[in-house]
Every structure is written in C-alpha cells, then in structure tokens.
Amino acid sequence: MRGRALGLALWAALATPPTMPASAGPAADAFAGGDWARAAELGARGTTADERIAQARALSVLATYEARERDRAEALLEEAIAAAAAAVELEPRNARALAERAIVTGYLSKLKRSPREARAARRDAEAALHLDPGLALAHAVLGGWHLEAVATLGAFLARTTLGARMAEGERHFARAHALKPDSALFPVFHAFALLALGPERGPDAQALLERAAAARPADAYERRVQAQGRQVLGLLARGEVARARALARALSPLGRIER
C-alpha cells in the first residue's frame, strides 16, 4: 500500500510543465506548437539545459497522453528522466531542470508504483524550491503530492506513513496560484486533486476549473489541459459529480494506462 500511495501521490500536479522562455530554441518552439515528437528529437540534439528540458517535457507528454501501452510509456519516461538529468548536469542550480526531473520521475513512480522514484521526485521538487522559492511549478508538484497522498490513504495514514498533510497540499497550491494567477494549468490539476479527495470537494473543484477555463493558454500543451478541464467542468456544472470524478481520473496523466 505504501508503494502505491507514494506513486499515486504525484499524479495531480506532476503534469504541469511551465512555459519555456522565448530564447529556449527550436525544441521549445516545436513543443509550443504541439509537435511533441519533433520537440523531443530537436531537444535530444541540444547542448543547453533549456533544450534538454524541452526534450524531457515533450517525452513526458508522449508517454502520459499519447502512449497506450505500459511498456511504451515506461520507455519514454525513462528517456525523459535521462533528458532531465542531463539538464541538471549541465546546470546543477537550474530549478526548472530539477522540477522537470521531479515531474517525469513522479510519472514513472505512478506507472511502476515505486516508492524509490516517488521519494526521488519529492526530493527534486523540494530542491527546486530551495534554489527558487518562487517557482510556481515546484509548489504545484508538492501540492499534488500531499493532496493525493491524503486521497489515497486517508488523512491519518497519509500523515503517519508519508508525512503528507492536507494543509501542506493546499498551502503549496495556494502559493502556486498566487505566483502564477493567470495559469491555465495549475487550477486544473488542483481541481483534479480535490475531486480525488471526494465528491464533497466538487464545488471547490468547479471554481478552480472556471478559473482555468477563463485563462489564456500559452501553448498547445496548455490548450490541451484547459480543454480537459472544461470537459470536467461541464459535468460539474450539471451536478454530475461522480461522472466528473471518473473523467478527471481518466484524463489525468497515464489515466488510460494506470489502473
């Protein structure tokens, strides 16, 4: 149970790659346009941390949204981890590189239900915040980790076995929203985490998804996540909370593979 909890505890927030800076190069441009395969190919040729981050991000999208076979998803995630690790090696104090490695390592944790990868993902997210306390992405990652641990184990076991707390999850998500109030991503993943906690969180999730629906997505990935949030929002607006919860889980990264 503990390994499962550690793996599942990351899904809600580990799918929120930040927008790359405009100077990041052709790999980031391909990612922004939604050509994930091309972005991965171009990033693999790169020699900068930003290029390898773009590669890792593209591979993570291919693994978690496009792959339909578990083995294929796992291979892509292993490749993504290697790309993110290369970015960290190039720039050890690059908080975005550490956060990206946390994301893809967390995905692998979910797929394999591995406590080792889950712990590594949390360490990377916390290290990213140590370097850059204002990195909204890392706050969202940790917010999802805490909330999904509570959703999986219940508040008491999550606290006693993992040190996860509802208040910590909400605190990190609140910080992420404050740092990036126009994000189309963080409200969706926060809402999905709340829906995993139980149907009583439906109104809070609906408010977050309304916020996400009104945001302006920065790239193809953000448009995709925003569209998923709108699907769930439509069900919540009609009072179909059970269906909304099921859809949110299915639309989450690896949701069509991990059962």
Q: How confident is the model at residue 17 (pLDDT cuts 50, 70, 90)?
A: very low
Taken in order of first residue, the domains within the chain and their CATH numbers are 2-251 (1.25.40.10)
Q: How many CA atoms lie within 13 A of 122 on its CB side?
A: 21
- Contact indicator for 117, 165 with CB cutoff of 8 Å: no
Q: Return d(Cα 174, Cα 204) in angstroms, integer.
A: 13
Per-residue pLDDT at 6 exceeds 80: no
pLDDT, greater one: 23 or 210? 210
Structure tokens at 152: 């999986």
The 10 Å CB-count burial string (b at 16+, else e) for 95-127 is bbbbbbbbbbbbbbbbbbbbbebbebbbebbeb
- Contact indicator for 62, 76 with CB cutoff of 8 Å: yes
pLDDT in tens, 157-212: 878 877 788 999 999 999 999 999 999 999 999 999 999 999 999 999 999 999 99
Structure tokens at 157: 């076991």
Q: How confident is the model at residue 259 (pLDDT cuts 50, 70, 90)?
A: low
Structure tokens at 35: 């050509």
Q: How confident is the model at residue 96 (pLDDT cuts 50, 70, 90)?
A: very high
Q: How confident is the model at residue 117 (pLDDT cuts 50, 70, 90)?
A: confident
Per-residue pLDDT at 152 exceeds 50: yes
pLDDT at residue 9, rounded to an integer: 43
Per-residue pLDDT at 18 exceeds 80: no
Q: Return d(Cα 140, Cα 187) in angstroms, integer.
A: 10
Select from 195, 169, 176, 183 the least CA-distant residue to 248: 195
Average pLDDT of span 64-92: 96
Mean pLDDT across the chain, nearest whole number?
A: 89
pLDDT at residue 162, rounded to an integer: 75
Q: Any idea which residue has 């994301």 for tokens?
A: 103
pLDDT at residue 123, rounded to an integer: 92
Q: How confident is the model at residue 154 (pLDDT cuts 50, 70, 90)?
A: confident
pLDDT at residue 7, rounded to an integer: 46
Per-residue pLDDT at 16 exceeds 90: no
Structure tokens at 199: 């149907």
Select from 181, 189, 188, 194 the least CA-distant residue to 230: 188
pLDDT in tens, 24-39: 689 999 999 999 999 9
- Contact indicator for 103, 17 with CB cutoff of 8 Å: yes
- Contact indicator for 147, 7 with CB cutoff of 8 Å: no
Q: Is 164 exposed, middle or buried (0-12, 13-18, 19+ CB in 10 A)?
A: buried
Per-residue pLDDT at 12 exceeds 50: no
Per-residue pLDDT at 14 exceeds 60: no
